[in-house]
Chains A and B, each alone.
Chain A
């Protein structure tokens, strides 16, 4: 039961952490520069940097936080919320990328 509870918290936390990072750059925006093979926090003008790895790190932090929050709760968990949040997150991130299709 505890493992299932932690899984619920990890999934919810990771999804919320990822969406928050993509949409708001919060809590932290970590960038990888493939040319210099270095990590940083600020965009390099004229150079493609990778934000995706940083978003995944935010998701991992969200998963840890989610597990910590859920750990002491002893009430039944709303499992339906997992797929509802996942569906809404997919929708929100899809809308967030709509500018690529306007050209």
Chain B
């Protein structure tokens, strides 16, 4: 069961990573509607990703919260804290970043509904992009050091 949840968490985070990266590219470098791969990537409608990103974020975090219990008691307490404390530190920052990103979700949703606040929308999307990448990389690093 733990393995299934961990895999679902990883797949969900990968989908989230793709969606938020795609949206951020379209926000920072909007492009024409036709052309090659790069131009097509920039030409997507970023507002169409909002619901998917919110659902994927909440789902990924919920799965992470469930598998956090065995991680905390079996992996972190027995190995990481004693042998690789820097990995615990990275994971602690990952937890905080995920919690703050979850807190940002209502503002993110509201900013994408209102075209007036373009700068804040771009900034919040960028923070979510950075948090998602950070959490994805740290999750993999820690799992490679000592997985569930």
Residues of chain A touching chain B, judged by Cβ–Cβ distance below 8 Å, are 3-4, 6-8, 10-12, 14-15, 18, 22, 32, 34-35, 48, 50, 52-53, 55-56, 59, 63, 79-80, 82-83, 86-87, 89-90, 93-94, 97-101, 103
Is B102 located at the chain interface by the 8 A CB criterion?
yes
Distance, CA A90 to CA B99, complexed state (A) = 10
Determine if A59 and B86 form an interchain contact, defined as CB atoms under 8 angstroms apart: no
- The listed residue (B96, B109, B111, B124) touching A22 by CB distance below 8 A is B96
Q: Is the interface of A mostly helix, strand, loop or mixed?
A: helix
Distance, CA A10 to CA B106, complexed state (A) = 7
Is B123 located at the chain interface by the 8 A CB criterion?
yes
Residues of chain B touching chain A, judged by Cβ–Cβ distance below 8 Å, are 65, 68-70, 72-73, 76-77, 85-86, 88-90, 92-93, 95-97, 99-100, 102-111, 113-114, 117, 119-120, 123-124, 127, 131
